[in-house]
């Protein structure tokens, strides 16, 4: 068989390097062309941070820079378990008031209690745990009372708005009956 019928000739390593260099140069000119066209269209005008120094430039290299920026941007607070439970305990009633059913409220309080108990049996990391589990029935009873008070104030506000719409004058409320 003749060589022409077999495989075509393979390029030499020098030819391969020259071809790679040509591809890179062609790619660079393509990128430059794209940037130039974008500049002509004005896509780089009025960018945020234009004319300002680049943040963190010139400082020492920190391998965890991305994590620190994520924590800062997302406002992630990583607290020791004892402090997180204290914070959750202080905000428990406020969070319960956003729930609409008793089943959800009960599950939330029970979950909080389970986390407190789990933290009690875990070795202490940071400050001591002083948060106590909540009484589920008392928490649900208080939640029901707050729900009823909100419903009553909404009902009063709706009747006042209806009276005002009917009479054309605003209804004056006594200070002890104002909705809170």
Helices (H), 42-135: 65-74, 81-90, 92-96, 102-120
| The predicted structure's pLDDT at residue 101 | 92
Over the stretch 118-143, which tens digit does the pLDDT of each residue have?
999 988 778 888 999 999 999 999 99
| The predicted structure's pLDDT at residue 161 | 81
Contacts of 57 (CB under 8 A, 6+ apart): none
| The predicted structure's pLDDT at residue 7 | 73
| The predicted structure's pLDDT at residue 86 | 93
| The predicted structure's pLDDT at residue 63 | 87
Per-residue pLDDT of the chain (180 residues; tens, 9 = 90+): 455 566 778 888 888 888 888 888 777 788 888 899 999 999 888 888 888 887 777 778 888 888 888 888 888 878 888 999 999 999 999 999 999 999 999 999 999 999 999 999 988 778 888 999 999 999 999 999 999 998 898 888 888 888 877 776 665 666 666 555
Strand, coil or helix: what is 55?
coil
| The predicted structure's pLDDT at residue 169 | 62
Domains of the chain, residue spans: 80-168
Can you state the angle between helices 81-90 and 102-120, rounded to 10 degrees? Answer: 150
Instruction: Using the CB atoms, write b or e for 29-42: b if 16+ within 10 Å.
Output: eeeeeeeeeeeeee
Q: Which residue has the tokens 């002509």?
A: 40
Contacts of 131 (CB under 8 A, 6+ apart): 82, 85, 86, 89, 116, 119
Contacts of 30 (CB under 8 A, 6+ apart): none
Quick one: how far is CA 157 from the chain centroid? Answer: 35
| The predicted structure's pLDDT at residue 179 | 57
**Cα–Cα distance measured from residue 130 to residue 90, given in angstroms and rounded to the nearest whole number:** 13
Over the stretch 66-85, which tens digit does the pLDDT of each residue have?
888 888 888 887 888 899 99
């Amino acid at each position: 068989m003749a060589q022409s019928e077999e495989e075509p000739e393979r390029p030499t390593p020098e030819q391969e390097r020259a071809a790679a260099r040509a591809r890179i140069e062609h790619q660079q000119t393509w990128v430059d062309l794209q940037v130039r066209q974008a500049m002509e269209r004005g896509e780089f005008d009025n960018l945020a941070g234009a004319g300002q120094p680049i943040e963190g430039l010139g400082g020492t290299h920190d391998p965890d820079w991305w994590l620190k920026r994520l924590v800062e941007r997302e406002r992630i607070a990583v607290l020791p378990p004892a402090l997180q439970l204290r914070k959750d305990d202080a905000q428990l009633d406020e969070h319960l008031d956003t729930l609409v059913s008793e089943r959800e409220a009960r599950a939330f309080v029970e979950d909080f209690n389970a986390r407190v108990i789990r933290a009690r049996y875990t070795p202490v990391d940071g400050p001591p745990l002083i948060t106590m589990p909540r009484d589920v029935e008392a928490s649900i009873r208080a939640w029901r009372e707050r729900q009823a008070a909100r419903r009553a104030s909404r009902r009063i506000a709706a009747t006042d708005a209806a009276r005002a719409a009917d009479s054309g004058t605003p209804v004056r409320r006594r200070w002890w009956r104002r909705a809170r």
